[in-house]
Amino acid sequence: MPASNKRIVLASRPAGWVSEANFRLEEAPVPEPKDGEVLVKNLWLSLDPYMRGRMNDVKSYAAKQEIDQVMVGQTAGEVLVSKNEKYKKGEHVLASFGWQQYGLSDGKGLTKVDATRVPLSAYLGVLGMPGVTAWVGLLDLCQPKAGETVVVSAASGAVGSVVGQIAKLKGCRAVGIAGGKKKCAYVVDELGFDACVDYKAGRLNDDLKAAAPSGIDCYFENVGGEVLDAVLRRMNPFSRIAVCGLISQYNATDPYGVKSFQSVLVNRIKVQGFIVSDRMELWPRALADLSSWVASGKLKYRETVAEGLENAPKAFIGLLKGENLGKQLVKLA
């Protein structure tokens, strides 16, 4: 048995931007599995924007992150010790053990995955929650038709990058919005989007008009703020918006007020916010499609990896600032 379990807890709630001082690295004894329990060594930790909302003490769709408790998060790891007949030593599992090196479970909440087919880390990204989020938001909510224009913000991220590629597979024009020339080049040259608008270039409205000359039929929202305003000005009649995230507002002390909301009425836009865990019945279909597309090379993905649990806070702050390309992960071992 390992001697100790390193873990990161929430030390204080952020006021505005998150800082590394809001976290604390601790060491605790590694729990001893009892009959029916499984001890897992976490190999990968997923960092996701939703974690910022959990850090606030406000009513939301999920429970808040408690002070002095291990930060919430999904992990992928290897069974180290099993006293549960359903799991064997050496098997790979997904769990929600959070920001720590080891996790103990009675077997509930664990999902076995095959790390011989694809890298284990992919099950936290393109073949996990981010990939399913893209599938559900685009195909179930937006329901794009061949020939329509699909726009997605945060297009180089874990979710947005999948949204645009699925749009192309369905015969749509895919337009991304991302921050910086490097990200836009990745979105167009590697992922195959038709166009990408660099919102940092200072020509958001004009560049979006040029990239979507026939207007926008489907918008997958990850950002909010000024980007949402610009998109609303280009939406077509009877268009659809799937609201997945509003990352530009998560650390804002003075939230941005949307100025173009009248477009929702004028263009009879259908706007739907969603949380992917509400649609668990769609996960098998989504994962079947995503797995097939990855295996055939039709769906590409990229990972940004931080080394070591102690670097998770810095990597998380970088994620909120848009410094990652593709899925942000922490390699724990």
pLDDT, tens only, 99-140: 999 999 999 999 999 999 899 999 999 999 999 999 999 999
Mean pLDDT of 196-210: 97
How large a percentage of the chain has pLDDT more than 90? 94
How large a percentage of the chain has pLDDT more than 70? 100
The sign of the dihedral angle between the CA atoms of 252, 253, 258, 264 is: positive
Kindly tell me the number of DSSP H helices and DSSP E strands found in the chain: 9, 15
Whole-number mean pLDDT of the chain? 96
Gyration radius of the chain over CA positions: 20
Predicted confidence (pLDDT) at residue 226 exceeds the cutoff of 80: yes
- Residue range(s) occupied by CATH 3.90.180.10 in the chain: 4-125+302-331
- The pLDDT, as a whole number, for residue 63 is 85
Phi, psi for 88 (deg, rounded to 5): -115, 150
Q: How far apart are CA 228 and CA 47, in angstroms?
A: 24
Q: How far apart are CA 244 and CA 32, in angstroms?
A: 39
**Taking a C-beta distance cutoff of 8 angstroms, is the pair 124, 111 a contact?**
no
Residue type, 192: G
Q: How far apart are CA 310 and CA 196, in angstroms?
A: 34
Predicted confidence (pLDDT) at residue 93 exceeds the cutoff of 90: yes
Q: How far apart are CA 39 and CA 209, in angstroms?
A: 53
Predicted confidence (pLDDT) at residue 1 exceeds the cutoff of 80: no
CATH of 4-125+302-331, one of 3.90.180.10, 1.10.760.10, 3.90.320.10, 3.30.470.30: 3.90.180.10
For residue 167, give the nearest of 181, 146, 187 by alpha carbon: 146
Q: How far apart are CA 278 and CA 138, in angstroms?
A: 15
Q: Please state, as a whole number, how many other Cβ atoms lie within 10 Å of the Cβ of residue 110.
A: 22
Write the CB contacts of 266 (distance below 8 Å, at least 6 apart in sequence).
none
Per-residue confidence band for 58, with pLDDT thresholds at 50, 70 and 90: confident
pTM here is: 0.94
- Using CB atoms within 10 Å of the CB of residue 146, give its burial: 0 to 12 exposed, 13 to 18 middle, 19+ buried: exposed
Per-residue confidence band for 332, with pLDDT thresholds at 50, 70 and 90: very high
- Residue range(s) occupied by CATH 3.40.50.720 in the chain: 129-277
CATH of 129-277, one of 3.40.109.10, 3.90.1150.10, 3.40.50.1220, 3.40.50.720: 3.40.50.720
Per-residue confidence band for 255, with pLDDT thresholds at 50, 70 and 90: confident
Mean pLDDT of 186-195: 98
Q: Which residue has the higher pLDDT, 3 or 209?
A: 209
Predicted confidence (pLDDT) at residue 2 exceeds the cutoff of 80: no
**Taking a C-beta distance cutoff of 8 angstroms, is the pair 302, 161 a contact?**
yes
**Taking a C-beta distance cutoff of 8 angstroms, is the pair 184, 196 a contact?**
yes
**Taking a C-beta distance cutoff of 8 angstroms, is the pair 327, 301 a contact?**
yes
